[in-house]
Amino acid sequence: MDKYKLRSEKSKLEREKRERDMMIEGARVIAAMVGIQFLDVGGDTLMKSATKDGMSIFIFTVYSNLFALCFLLPSSLFYHRKRAPPPISTSIFCRIFLLSCIQTSVQILMNTGIGYSSPTLASTMVDLVPAFTFILALISRMEILNLKQHSSQIKVICTMVCIAGALTVTLYKGMPLISNAFPNIEMGGRGINISEKSNWITGAILLATASFCLSVLHIVQVNNFF
C-alpha cells in the first residue's frame, strides 16, 4: 500500500509539473504573439508617419529590409557558428527568390494601403489572411471541407466573420475619436469628404490584396519546403 501510495503521489506530482510547464510555455507563446502584434502596429504607425513627412514608400521598404538584413545575417552566422550551413541548390535559390518577390509585393501593397488609409485599418485587414489561406487551401486541395464535422463548420463560420468584419470596417469608417485628428473633415467640403472616402476604400483594397498575397506566400512556403 505504501509503495502504491508513493507511486500515486509521484505520478500526481509529475502530472502537475507537466501541466505547469505547459501553462508557462503557453504564456510565453501568447506573450511573444502579443509582442509581435505591438511591433507590427508600431511599424505601421512609423511608416504612416514617415510617408506623411515626405518619405517614399519604396525607400521605406528598402530601409526596412536592410534593417532586417542587418539583424538576420548576424543571427544566422551565430546559429551556424558550430556547424556548416546547409548547401543552397539552384532550386532552393529560385524558391527563395520567388518567396522574396511575393514578400516584397506584400510590403509594398501594405505600405501603400496604409498611406491611403491608416494603421488601424491595416491591423483589421490582416485578419483576412486566415480566411484567404483557408480558401486557397481548399482550392489547392490542401484542406478537406466536410460540413458534417464541427471543425469544418467552425472554419467556414470564421472565414465568413473575417470577410464580413473587413467589409464593415472598409465601408463604415466612423467618427474620429479626437476632434482635431482630421482637420480636413472640419472644413466641411463635400469634395474633401468624397476624396477621403475614396482614399479609404482604395487603401482597404490594397490592404486586402496584400493579405491575399500573404496567404499565397503561406501556401507557397508549405508546398515548397514541407
Place of cell 485587414: 125
Contacts of 22 by beta carbon, 8 Å cutoff, 6+ apart: none
DSSP designation for 142:
S
- For residue 127, the SS3 value is coil
Residues in the chain: 226
Q: Are 203 and 117 in contact (CB under 8 A)?
A: yes
Q: What is the pTM of this model?
A: 0.69
pLDDT of residue 4: 61
pLDDT tens track, the chain, 226 positions: 555 666 666 677 777 788 888 888 888 888 888 888 788 778 778 878 877 777 788 888 888 888 888 888 888 778 777 777 777 788 888 888 888 888 888 888 888 888 888 887 888 888 888 888 888 888 887 777 777 778 778 888 888 888 888 778 777 665 555 555 444 443 344 444 555 667 888 888 888 899 899 888 888 887 654 4
Residue 136 burial by CB count (10 A; 0-12/13-18/19+): exposed, middle or buried? middle
pLDDT of residue 184: 44
| Cα–Cα distance, 34 to 120 (Å, whole number) | 16
